[in-house]
Amino acid sequence: MALADNTRPDPDRKFVRHAMQTALLDPDHERDLATRWREDDDEEALHELTSAYVRLVISMAGKFRNYGLPMSDLIQEGNIGLMQAAARFEPSRDVRFSTYASWWIRSSIQDFVLRNWSIVRTGTTAAQKSLFFNLKRLRAKINDLDGDTLSEESRDWIAQQLGVPARDVEKMAARLSASDKSLNAPVAEDGQSQFQDLMPDELNPTPEQSVMEERDGAQRRRWIAEAMSRLSPREQTIIRARKLRDESVTLESLGEQLSISKERVRQIEHAALAKLRDSLIKIAGDPETSGILPTV
């Protein structure tokens, strides 16, 4: 069996070592490179400009390594931010490229951390990002790192420091203290039961609720059928067309069908609804509270 070659250099370490050894740029040369890239699309100038500040990417990535993501991935995302900075940098402004690039590098790494720290999206607004990346530091500052709950005093102080609502501080503290859990994770030693088996279905009714709804629905249909039988044929036609269909028929269409004016249809409908209410009150109680008929 062949042994692993431990003498081969780690490519990541080689990349970091090379980046840290690259010479920094003086302000004039930096401005010249940025101008050549912006005005002449000089790719050699772009390469020299960005290569000089990869060490800035590595330094920034190191500040986010405690979020459990690979350092190489953080550096890659930081390099994306560095390239975005080079594409937008204006040499005419009296600002060093390193200062300008720092914002883009940090923003790119932060977005990557937020996308990958949890399968549940943690935050998208500036306030939520500020909470995510500063909550632990501020809790440590006031020595309040116990669990997912914050004292009211600590919560209000952090909210004031970051300029966010106190309820957002409490929610973020709870989320950061939790961890992702697979729905297929076993919950018993025999491995037969999974975590998802214990989760209630909040979208669909329980079997008991389904039976109750079906029984109640059948009872309401019987009540309405009995009350409808006490109306005249013309009244039944109008009520069915106007109140018991998914799409109500217009008064004008019913008037043409029954050879009467639409105003007469409205009058018959109003009188028929009054009769229905009286009948339903005698059969089942007040229709306003039982929800048998819609309010008109």
For 20-29, 115-124, 156-165, 196-205, which range has the lowest pLDDT when averaged over its residues? 115-124
How much is the mean pLDDT over the chain? 78
- Of the candidates 92, 88, 24, which has an alpha carbon nearest to the alpha carbon of residue 56? 24
pLDDT of residue 209: 79
In whole angstroms, give the CA distance from residue 70 to residue 17.
18
pLDDT of residue 187: 62
Residues linked to residue 3 through DSSP beta bridges, in sequence order: none
pLDDT in tens, 227-273: 899 999 999 999 998 888 888 889 899 889 889 998 999 999 999 99
pLDDT of residue 294: 46
Q: Cβ(251)–Cβ(266) under 8 Å?
A: yes
pLDDT of residue 107: 87
Mean pLDDT of 204-213: 79
Length of the chain measured in residues? 296
Other C-beta atoms lying within 10 Å of the C-beta of residue 138:
17
Q: Cβ(48)–Cβ(86) under 8 Å?
A: no
Give the list of residues 6+ apart from residue 237 with CB closer than 8 angstroms, or none.
Answer: 254, 257, 258
In whole angstroms, give the CA distance from residue 226 to residue 232.
13
- Of the candidates 95, 172, 97, which has an alpha carbon nearest to the alpha carbon of residue 139? 172
pLDDT of residue 66: 77
- Of the two residues 51 and 156, the one the predictor is more confident about is 51
Name the packing angle between helices 11-21 and 71-88 (round to 10°): 40
In whole angstroms, give the CA distance from residue 98 to residue 86.
10
DSSP H helices, the chain, are 11-21, 27-40, 43-51, 54-62, 71-88, 97-116, 126-141, 152-162, 166-177, 207-228, 233-243, 251-258, 262-284, 287-290
Q: Give whole-number Cα distances, 145 to 43, 135, 136, 142, 152, in Å.
A: 49, 10, 8, 9, 14
In whole angstroms, give the CA distance from residue 290 to residue 296.
15
In whole angstroms, give the CA distance from residue 13 to residue 168.
40
